[in-house]
Amino acid sequence: MTLTTSARRSSIMPMCIIALLFFIFGFVTWLNGALIPFLQVVCQLSETQALMIASCFYFAYVVMALPMAMILEKVGYQSSMVLGLSIIALGLLGFIPAALLQEFWIFLVAQFVIGSGLTILQTAANPYVVNVGPTKSAAARIAIMGLLNKGAGILAPLLFTAWVLGGFSDINLATVNQMPAEQQQLQIESMAHQLISPYVGMAIALLVLAGGLSRISLPDLALLESPVNDESDALEDSARHQTKRSIWQFPQLVLGAIALFFYVGVEVIAGDTIGLYGASIGVANATTLTSYTMGFMVLGYLLGLLCIPRFVSQANALRISAVSGLVITILLLFSSNEQTMLSQLLWGWSGIAVIPNSVTLIALLGLANAMVWPTLWPLALADLGRFTPKGSAILIMGIAGGALMPIIYGQLAQASNNQQAYWILLPGYLMIGFYAFYGHKMRIWS
């Protein structure tokens, strides 16, 4: 559907708000990369238990996607955004009793509430960005949003380290366990209490934003809910979907949701386990390592923004991402934990701290992952017509990969070692590759 000039002008304010929401998505989501090694110390957790912090967060997407889609259909975009921001703020406030009591289950409940708030925001925001303009440039629009999202992902672990860790930057699970019992308890309590002020501040900021958003009159976004590629195709689109009565009759969507499941799994593993991995091999300031992964994701988004669709189609960009992920993962499995040649070559000249080759390769997965989300969404939502809102909810449910795959990684790490556990990424990139080369073209189940 081609938007009129008036509609384009009226979409500027909503796009600015969506851009702000994507920044919030990134900041809240990628706090997990710093939070996981921190709570491993505070709550005395194993690798698998620590990764449940991310899993519980992403599990909310599975449980809440369809209920939130129903809310979106009933109350509309604007009220859903206000509700989502308020729910996230409630989850952030849940960190207060969790920190005071150092109870892991309360942290998990708070994470689930935060994930629930993000679910309704994501369900509204992603299809909006896909359908607000020409289909062929949807990935470029999502890349702009991704720059904000992953830019926030760079800031989140750095600010967490500054706000929360303070004088605890050299503290890890091993050093705490070597302390006498009384000193250990004092250390843990002191670290836990450092969480309270930053999380209260973030909650207040989101509530203020929600209040402001509730007072702004946004244009009706209904015309974006059932897009077709061109106005002249409207009748053809209607006829094409008369024979389809279920969302499950669209192979490009179902396979896209499966590919998205694996993508979010590999993305979360690359972003959220790099800190644990770095801490396990003695890298200093391990809570900041997520910023390296996010930095490469930002670079990937910039490349996508420049190249799609000018030089590379959305499908080809997805293919390049899948192949790159496979190659980097294979190199990671056999890389050194002592040598720093890769980071010296890539950024050692800039003064940024160098890191072991294995950790650098985990960070480079951010570059491979960057354009999967922006390219997969428009390919999966193509030709859905009136099924687009439900299709968006199905894709959001694919975010469950971020709940399950890190747990599998944790189990493998305990059974073998942290480095070899990264083989779990290989089937993920293979599925993304299948979708990129074949799955997105399917329109009927054969």
Length of the chain as a residue count: 446
Q: How confident is the model at residue 316 (pLDDT cuts 50, 70, 90)?
A: very high
Q: What is the pLDDT of residues 267-277, one digit of tens each?
A: 989 988 898 89
Pair 93, 200: CB distance under 8 Å: yes
- End-to-end, the C-alpha distance of the chain in Å comes to 29
Please state, in angstroms and rounded to a whole number, the distance separating the CA atoms of residues 110 and 174.
Answer: 26
Handedness of CA 114, 120, 125, 131 (dihedral sign): positive
pLDDT (0 to 100) of residue 4: 47
Same fold, 14-217 and 250-445: yes
For the chain, the farthest-separated pair of C-alpha atoms sits apart, in whole angstroms, at 75
Across residues 328-351, what is the average pLDDT?
93
Residue extents of the structural domains in the chain: 14-217, 250-445
The fraction of the chain above a pLDDT of 90, given in percent, is 29
What single DSSP character describes residue 371?
Answer: T
- Residue 228 pLDDT > 50: no
- Residue 423 pLDDT > 90: yes
Query: Which is more confidently placed, 425 or 417?
Result: 425
Q: What is the mean pLDDT of the chain?
A: 82
According to CATH, the superfamily of the domain at 14-217 is MFS general substrate transporter like domains (1.20.1250.20)
Asked if the peptide bond before residue 309 counts as cis, ω within 30 degrees of 0, the response is yes
Residues 6+ apart with CB under 8 A from 444: 251
Q: How confident is the model at residue 242 (pLDDT cuts 50, 70, 90)?
A: low
Residues 6+ apart with CB under 8 A from 96: 196, 199, 200
- Residue 337 pLDDT > 80: yes
pLDDT (0 to 100) of residue 130: 67
For 250-445, CATH gives 1.20.1250.20
pLDDT (0 to 100) of residue 238: 46
Pair 373, 262: CB distance under 8 Å: no
Q: How many CB atoms lie within 10 A of CB 217?
A: 6
Query: Which is more confidently placed, 148 or 225?
Result: 148
Pair 288, 278: CB distance under 8 Å: no
Q: How confident is the model at residue 127 (pLDDT cuts 50, 70, 90)?
A: low
